[in-house]
Amino acid sequence: MKLWLTRIPLLGILLAIPLTTTAEQAVSAPRVNVVPVERGHYAPALTMTGEVQAQKTSALSFSTSGRVIAWMFDVGDRVAEGAALARLDASQQEAAVAAAEANLSAARAQLEQAEAHHDRAQRLFEQGNTTLAGLDEAVTAFRVAQEAVVAGEAQLAAAEKRLEDTVLRAHAAGIITSRVVDTGQVVQAMQPIFSLAENGARYAVFDVHERALLTIPDEIVIALSLATDRSQSYNGILREISPVLDPLLGTVRVKVEIEEAHELPLGATIIGAASGQPTEAIILPVETLASIEGRSAVWVVDPMSETVEAREISILDVTDGSIVLPVDALPEGTLVVSKGPRSLRAGQTVAFAEGSEP
């Protein structure tokens, strides 16, 4: 009888141990807020920084070889259409023009004499005072003299053209963006001398990351503004995407036509902003973001066991207090910890905060 009585306290102690442990676990389980994973539509915001460039840039060169004796404009200068930009030594061309003028003058004098002889022979023939052979000779001489004048005029025109070619002129109004010649330098025909950014339409030129291009819709209007004056905005139309990828930066050059902005300064820094093509994605509060061994992750809660597990994630964007994940990053309805202790561990039991129960 005594033996039975002595075992009762021991049994009570053994039964009390798990009850106490369970109570402690309930008290120590951290409370967390959770949000369910839902799919939504996300239009990525695209911000670009680039440079204002002329829509049309020309390389200017002489059409003849020679030695440069003067240049009249430098980089940054504005030039009018037809302005003389540089000159070659024109000694030979000037001499050729003088010789052609002398030859043409002589040919015209010869033509006057031949014409007078022709008219006289014509009258004499009509009066019967000369033969047909005499008239034919006068006619032939007159035609030869006419042809000599025509040839002389062509020779003079060619000489004047060669003289004109010793002066390099701007074929359009614009701004000089480069000069690669100096006085005394000998240049060859068609060798670039100046670069001219022509007045008129302007491009905003950006180097955009390849992945960002995938979000740009075909029909997109880009809001543009100068970095130095954000108060004035312009509409931009996407005109050209380079097929060449920069292997070092992973960027692609994009040209955007700036509407009604012909006077924007070339080389100015310009900002572009646009919304990309809407796509389906998962959007979670930024508070759900955790770091596991330096990698982005979220903590998900099993609603049955109320334990947590870390899931690595790939982030598409962080915007307006939210993180954007690929649509297949997490199953829809998954419970993600949005608020709780700073440190959790895999398999840890948690308790749902009041009002956050699934």
In total, how many domains does the chain have? Answer: 4
What is the model's pLDDT at position 19? Answer: 40
Residue where one domain finishes, among candidates 254, 278, 302: 278
Low-confidence ranges of the chain (pLDDT < 50): 1-26
What is the model's pLDDT at position 17? Answer: 39
219 touches 251 (CB < 8 A): no
Residues 328 and 345 in one domain: yes
> How far apart, in whole angstroms, are the C-alpha atoms of residue 204 and residue 259?
10
Predicted TM-score of the model (pTM)? 0.59
Task: Flag whether 228 is in a domain.
Answer: yes
What is the model's pLDDT at position 96? Answer: 94
What is the model's pLDDT at position 23? Answer: 43
Give the pLDDT confidence of 195-221 residue by residue, as tens digits: 999 988 899 999 988 777 776 776 788
Task: Flag whether 19 is in a domain.
Answer: no
Looking at 139-268, which runs of residues are DSSP E strands? Answer: 167-169, 174-179, 186-187, 192-198, 202-209, 221-226, 229-245, 251-258
285 touches 338 (CB < 8 A): yes
Residues 157 and 142 in one domain: yes
Nearest residue to 305 (alpha-carbon basis) of 238, 358, 341: 358
Give 170's DSSP letter: -
Domain that holds residue 215: 46-54+201-278
